[in-house]
């Protein structure tokens, strides 16, 4: 019996050590200290033993029970302490004078997103470390397609890449939700650019996509004009020029009539009267097909707004590098509260 009790003690100790959550510790407790436990069985047999044996076995059983019970209590305390690590943040303390502000890119992103949300678009996101398929093939950019050269890509050792645009969010959303679909996806993108006042290796885009039955270029123009009207508080004239992107057909560059000179020609629009705003187009049937949407039933349009450029335009920021610099004094000059 002594041997049996010692074995129980060792087994219980191991099980307590190996239990790392409250539930499993409580299970060990009921196994070793409950009414049906092996120790209880031993205690029940005490009545058949001699007085001397009773003394020894009874004492040992109680010792082991107490030991197990102490170990269980200790373990439960440790688990509780771990789960209730308190964050010391006192929200009643007075604030520092310099409370900071939203980043210019965040401000324009929120503006565009809130307009699109009113039109029934849902916000989606995608990973910044992206699979080659979503960044290229799913968008009809095959392995050796020259269009890949337009986006100097950071490849990672794990075979993935830093996404070069927000367009992979189109593919992910089509796969996840199917058609019909209205999504907006703001996010950070990366390209291996030589840095200067207008080029950064890290920048922000906002992708939009609509898929439904009988979607046409008119719908695309309508949505773009609505966004611009809300942002600039007046009707803005737009025009489409042909532009090539493998994932749209036809593809366009959408220009807006220069808001500074009203189309007469000025330094901002380099005398042309028009300012390039964003590439867009009708979703290529192959792109729909790759994501399981039947191009004979559905059509769609997509656009990619350069949020970084938009923020620079809105806040008159001449050097793109300011935006990622973390230089609060420069960012403060935007006047964002």
Interaction of residue 104 with ligand DAH, rule CB under 6 A: no
Q: Are 330 and 128 in contact (CB under 8 A)?
A: no
* Residue in the structure block whose two tokens are 């793109």: 320
273, burial (CB in 10 Å: exposed 0-12, middle 13-18, buried 19+): middle
**Based on CB atoms, which residue is closest to ligand DAH, 57 or 108?**
108
**Based on CB atoms, which residue is closest to ligand DAH, 75 or 309?**
309
Instruction: Give the Å distances, CA to CA, from 179 to 120, 211, 282, 294.
Output: 14, 6, 15, 9
Residue from 32, 203, 303, 315 that binds ligand DAH (CB under 6 A)? 303
Residue from 104, 187, 279, 300 that binds ligand DAH (CB under 6 A)? 279
Phi, psi at 161, each rounded to 5°: -145, 165
* Residue in the structure block whose two tokens are 């719908």: 219
Smallest distance, Å, CB 319 to ligand DAH? Answer: 21
Residue from 207, 277, 322, 323 that binds ligand DAH (CB under 6 A)? 207
**Based on CB atoms, which residue is closest to ligand DAH, 130 or 207?**
207
Smallest distance, Å, CB 320 to ligand DAH? Answer: 15
Binding mask 158-177 for ligand DAH (x = CB under 6 A): -------x-x----------
Strands (E), the chain: 122-123, 129-130, 161-162, 181-190, 202-212, 238-242, 248-257, 274-283, 299-306
**Based on CB atoms, which residue is closest to ligand DAH, 28 or 105?**
105
# residues contacting ligand DAH (CB under 6 A): 12
**Based on CB atoms, which residue is closest to ligand DAH, 104 or 304?**
304
**Based on CB atoms, which residue is closest to ligand DAH, 186 or 281?**
281
Interaction of residue 203 with ligand DAH, rule CB under 6 A: no
Smallest distance, Å, CB 210 to ligand DAH? Answer: 11
Instruction: Enumerate helices (H) and strands (E) in the chain, giving the number of each.
Output: 11, 9
**Based on CB atoms, which residue is closest to ligand DAH, 57 or 248?**
248
Question: CB neighbours of 203 closer than 8 A, spacing ≥ 6?
Answer: 188, 189, 190, 191, 306, 307, 308, 320
Interaction of residue 186 with ligand DAH, rule CB under 6 A: no
Residue from 281, 290, 298, 311 that binds ligand DAH (CB under 6 A)? 281
DSSP string, 115-169: HHHHTT-EE----SEE-HHHHTGGGT--TT-GGGGGS---B-TTS-EE-SSSTHH
Judged by the rule CB under 6 A, the positions of this chain that interact with ligand DAH are 165, 167, 207, 245, 248, 251, 279-281, 302-304
């Amino acid at each position: 019996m002594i041997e049996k009790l010692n074995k129980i003690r060792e087994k219980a100790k191991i099980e307590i050590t190996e239990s790392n959550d409250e539930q499993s510790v409580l299970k060990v407790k009921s196994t070793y200290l409950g009414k049906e436990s092996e120790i209880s069985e031993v205690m029940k047999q005490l009545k058949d033993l001699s007085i001397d044996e009773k003394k020894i076995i009874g004492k040992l059983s109680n010792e082991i029970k107490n030991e197990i019970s102490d170990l269980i209590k200790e373990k439960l305390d440790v688990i509780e302490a771990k789960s209730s690590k308190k964050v010391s943040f006192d929200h009643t303390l007075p604030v520092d004078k310099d409370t900071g502000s939203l980043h210019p890119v965040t401000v324009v992103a929120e503006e565009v997103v809130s307009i699109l949300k009113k039109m029934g678009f849902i916000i989606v996101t995608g990973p910044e470390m992206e699979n080659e398929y979503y960044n290229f093939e799913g968008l009809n950019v095959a392995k050796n397609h020259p269009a890949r050269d337009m986006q100097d890509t950071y490849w990672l050792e794990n075979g993935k890449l830093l996404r070069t645009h927000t367009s992979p969010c189109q593919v992910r959303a089509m796969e996840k939700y199917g058609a019909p679909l209205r999504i907006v996806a703001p996010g950070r993108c990366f390209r291996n650019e030589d840095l200067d006042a207008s080029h950064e290796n890290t920048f922000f885009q906002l992708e939009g996509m609509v898929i439904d039955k009988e979607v046409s270029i008119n719908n695309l123009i309508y949505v773009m004009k609505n966004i611009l009207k809300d942002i600039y508080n007046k009707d803005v004239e737009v025009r489409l020029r042909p532009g090539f992107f493998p994932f749209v057909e036809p593809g366009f560059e959408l220009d807006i009539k220069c808001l500074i000179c009203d189309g007469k020609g000025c330094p901002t629009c380099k005398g042309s009267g028009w300012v390039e705003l964003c590439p867009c187009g009708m979703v290529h049937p192959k792109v729909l097909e790759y994501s399981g949407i039947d191009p004979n039933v559905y059509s769609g349009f997509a656009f990619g707004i350069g949020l970084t450029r938009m923020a620079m335009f809105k806040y008159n920021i001449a050097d793109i590098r300011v935006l990622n610099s973390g230089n609060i004094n420069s960012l403060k000059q935007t006047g964002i509260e």
